[in-house]
Structure 1
Amino acid sequence: AGRCLWAQVSARCQPVPVPQRYCQDVYRGQLASVHSAARNQELQKLARTYKIISPWIGAVTSRRAGQWESYWEDSSPWNYANWAPTHPFHIVTTCTTLSIRDGLWRSHFCFQLRPFICQY
């Protein structure tokens, strides 16, 4: 609501802290958050168009107040999830990718180099 559609997919592989800053500094946006199956499919299709296999989205899973939880970097409500079986990991803080093959989300260490999707 109030944001442009997903207008930027970067093929430049970066660990998550870099895309977070890039989305903020260049677009005044965030890594993409997903709140419905329709939006998930839209992002999957967008990434496929750019031939981006598993881009970062803005979901993070970490231990907070003794409990593992997933949340959006942009602080929007956590009201939808599309995790692959056995995900998210509950070992260390992880970031999330969206698969263009099956649309499922998978946990990865945040320092891995991957392309990303900004929303603004």
Structure 2
Amino acid sequence: MFYLNSSGFADAELNCNQNGGHLASIHDGFTNALLPQEAYKRFHESTETDFWIGATNLMSGNSWNWTDGSPFDFKDWKTGEPQNTTGANCAVQSLNDGFWSAQDCFKPKAYVCKTPLTYYTTTKTYPLTFNCSDGWNYFAPTHSCYGVNRSGYHANWTAAEVYCVNNGAHLPSIHSFAEFRYLMSYLYVPWYNVWTGIFSPDSGKTWMNKDETTVEFLKYANWCTGYPTNTTGERCVLLDNINERDCYSDFDCISRELNTVCKKPLFI
């Protein structure tokens, strides 16, 4: 799917998610040649010279990955790329020659989404909007409401999870880059950190989600410097914007009180 309406990288990925896919990943030379040719047919009347694809180094260990989680097994960087400069963390493909370059993720650009055919034949249709209760907001890619009741809630991890359960929810698990960025948005305006539903019952040897879904969180961001602490006992994970920007920290689940965001799936 080709989108001429310009968006920053994260917004483009979110729009792809809402339509059942991700920004396009590329795994062979044929696809790499086909995309700019097809894009040119749709974008040639605009001033666009390149478009977002799904490669970024924001998700894990400063290495380049695809937002759909597929192997990064093909690349076609322009000579001198990717740039090792601040902010050049997302990849575009040139309409003229098909080569890739790293650019500022906030630049508005056209983009290409890749959606599995099965999405159109077997996937349920979910609403793009939903009226959650007061203090909660709907996030269409996960079909879930996030938040707390209007007055908010500040507590240790254990009490926060009980609070979420009493509201038909859990502390949030993280299953995509889009969901990670959405949860981080709570930190940018009112708060500096917030609990997730991720915890370790064995001093950091294994990590689990309280909602019993699979654990994928390290695909989408890194540990803050010095974490995980590997301290004896149960450890609980928070999104951190104090120690370091956009990373994970872990603490014991009882002594530290933080802001709470709950996640309530609406459609199973």
Q: TM-score, normalised to structure 1's length? A: 0.85
Q: Tell me by how many angstroms 1:61 deviates.
A: 2.5
Shift of 1:57: 0.2
Per the alignment, residue 10 of structure 1 pairs with 3
Partners of 1:70 and 1:90 in 2: how far apart? 12
The aligned length equals 110
Q: Any residues of structure 2 matched to 1:27-66 within 5 Å, and which?
A: 27-50=19-42, 51=44, 52-62=48-58, 64-65=60-61
Q: Taking every aligned residue pair, what percent have the same amino acid on both sides?
A: 25
DSSP-derived class of the 1:55 partner: strand
* C-alpha distance after superposition, 1:52-80 (max 9, x if no partner): 53010000134854xx4211111100110
- 8 Å CA contact 1:33–1:72 kept in 2: the answer is yes
| Contact 2:5/2:110 (<8 A) preserved | yes
Structure 2 unaligned residues grouped into runs of 5+:
116-268
Whose relative contact order is higher, 1 or 2, with alpha carbons under 8 Å and at least 6 apart?
1
CA radius of gyration, larger in: 2
Aligned-pair Cα RMSD in Å: 1.6
Match 1:87 to one of 64, 81, 86: 81
Correspondence for 2:69: 75
Runs of 4+ in 1 over 4 A off after TM superposition: 62-65
Whole-angstrom distance in 1 between the partners of 2:66 and 2:23 = 9
User: Contact 1:61/1:88 (CA < 8 Å) preserved in 2?
Assistant: no
Aligned partner of 1:112 in structure 2 is 107
Match of 1:99 among 76, 94, 99: 94
Q: Which amino acid aligns with 2:109?
A: R
Secondary structure of 2:50's aligned partner: coil
Contact 1:54/1:99 (<8 A) preserved:
yes
| TM score, norm. by length of structure 2 | 0.39
